[in-house]
Amino acid sequence: MPEIETSTVPVRLCASEALVERGDAVVFEVQQWRQKASAFVMRFEGRVVAYLNRCAHVPTEMDWQEGKFLDGDRELIICSIHGATYEPLSGRCVGGPCVGGRLTALRVEERDAQVYWYPSPDIKPAPVPELRDGDAAVIRNESPP
């Protein structure tokens, strides 16, 4: 996997137990070059890997349902649009219309039973939406659980 220039301040994505071996991915919102995008993190062969949710063929999201990225055999990441397949550990396209291309990898790390993402200069956390006056009133009126 190529070296990725990243921030030193990690963002917690999820608990380790949320990522089951070859199971569903956790999808999260990011911002790439000030454009809204999504990314996903999953576990494969015990390792945690993360990629921008954008196919190398046509720049579109790949999951047919949120978090469903693997093919029927749970061996390859598959794009639901035209069927490009990618190696989960490298992100390299190994089948379909973009062979030789690759997914954009994000640097993630697992420690203390948590999964963290290190944003890069190009791919950052999505901005938190600003509250409008009405939203703030609704939040203030919520009763504690």
The distance of closest approach from Cβ of residue 55 to ligand FES in the complex, given in angstroms and rounded to an integer, is: 3
Q: Which residues contact 102 (CB under 8 A, 6 or more apart)?
A: 56, 86, 90, 91, 92, 93
Integer distance in angstroms from the first to the last C-alpha of the chain?
Answer: 44
DSSP 8-state class, residue 127:
P
The distance of closest approach from Cβ of residue 95 to ligand FES in the complex, given in angstroms and rounded to an integer, is: 10
The distance of closest approach from Cβ of residue 21 to ligand FES in the complex, given in angstroms and rounded to an integer, is: 25
- Residue nearer to ligand FES on the CB measure, 38 or 114: 38
Binding site for ligand FES (CB under 6 A): 55, 57-58, 60, 62, 79, 81-84, 96-97
- Residue nearer to ligand FES on the CB measure, 13 or 84: 84
Q: Helix-strand-coil percent breakdown of the chain, rounded to 5?
A: 10, 35, 55
